[in-house]
Amino acid sequence: MAIEKTKTEKPAAAVKKTAATKKPAAAKKPATKAASPRKKTASATVNNQVSYEAIQHAAYLIAEKDGFVKDAISYWLEAEAQAKTA
């Protein structure tokens, strides 16, 4: 004995009812463009790289003068402090 599957469809009246109950779309206000976040420019990236390399070099010179006794972070922080005051 085979079982037949039947499709269940909504009556046409139910379909029309849902379409008729929709409210008309309100007039859309013109969208204002939100300010986009600033992108890094190539010159900012270059300046950051120059700063990084300058601090790196200064930290090495401080460490060399000190005889490499302390850890690298303390030399780095000292070089950054000197760069900020200069």
Q: What is the pLDDT of residues 18-33, one digit of tens each?
A: 555 666 666 777 767 7
76 is a domain residue: yes
Residue 57 to residue 79: CA distance in whole angstroms: 9
The distance between the two most distant Cα atoms of the chain, rounded to a whole number of Å, is: 97
71-81 average pLDDT score: 95
Mean pLDDT (whole number) for 46-66: 92
Is position 53 within any domain? yes
Average pLDDT over residues 26-42: 71
Q: Is residue 16 part of a domain?
A: no
The answer to whether residue 6 is domain-embedded is: no
When divided into structural domains, the chain yields a total of: 1
Note if the pTM is more than 0.75: no
Domain residues for the domain of 52 are 41-86
Across 8-21, average pLDDT = 58
Q: How many CB atoms lie within 10 A of CB 78?
A: 17
- Residue 14 has a pLDDT of 54
Exposed/middle/buried for residue 28 (C-beta within 10 Å: 0-12, 13-18, 19+): exposed
Residues 6+ positions from 51 with CB-CB distance below 8 Å? 83
**pLDDT of 3 above 60:** yes
